[in-house]
Amino acid sequence: VGDDDFAVECDQVRISGAARTDEVVHNGDYYAHVVMPAGSEDAIAEGLRIRYDGDSPWVGSDDLVDPDLQIGAGCTADQVVGHTMGRLAGVDTGLDPVLVSRALDSVLRHNHRDGFTGHFNHMRTYALNDEAGLLVCSFPRGDRPRRPFPYCNEVWTGLEYSAAVGLLVDGRPGDAERVVRAVRDRYDGRRRNPFDEVECGHHYVRSMASWGLVDAWLATEQEHHPRKGDSA
């Protein structure tokens, strides 16, 4: 839009933010959730605090030092989704590609399950028995919050697709295909409706993240197999 000064400011935020993210959020294996509790009611604007009581008794936290419903040290399936979107848009996010690859390794290593027999899930069941899938969140380093992010034990297709797109952008088509194959095997028309990948309702919009696979595949093919006359 011609606002060059603001463009420079945004670029500086991108660079410093990426460096800070790599330094503070990445724990050596993956990007974790650094909980920064308010500590006191005085740090929360009037009307913004959600309590256990009132209209939503199942959310919020009375503990402002160690709040409930946090991810904490968890390894989430979609932890690099912002970086992935940036790559698809042709934007250099500034994150260290080695750390991003390491995070994707951790997602596959810690969140993938070849089956869910014996898997404890206190919430909704989107994968079961001998089905494969990626957990929303795992806690490979321990330190799981007493009352964690409640959906950690579930399997969401939208997050699985996000992880697959990230793997594809990272140049790992085999791993990406493995993740997508697990989703489509669960929604094969026999076990579940192949046109209705359920999350919090039918035909849930998050599964549209699968369209990112198209862009990522085309970009990967162009990068590694440029057509004659195209620049590599």
> Total domain count for the chain?
1
Q: Is the pTM of this model over 0.85?
A: yes
- In this predicted structure, which of 63-67, 114-118, 186-190, 208-212 has the lowest mean pLDDT? 63-67
Q: Which two tokens stand for residue 17?
A: 């933010």
Domain membership of residue 58 (yes or no) is no
Question: 90 is in which domain, residue-wise?
Answer: 76-224
Domain membership of residue 55 (yes or no) is no
Domain membership of residue 39 (yes or no) is no
Question: Mind listing the pLDDT tens digit for each residue in 119-139?
Answer: 999 999 999 999 999 999 999
Domain membership of residue 136 (yes or no) is yes
Q: Which two tokens stand for residue 8?
A: 């420079």
Is the torsion defined by CA of 56, 201, 198, 206 positive or negative?
Answer: negative
Domain membership of residue 7 (yes or no) is no
Domain membership of residue 68 (yes or no) is no
Domain membership of residue 87 (yes or no) is yes
Domain membership of residue 12 (yes or no) is no
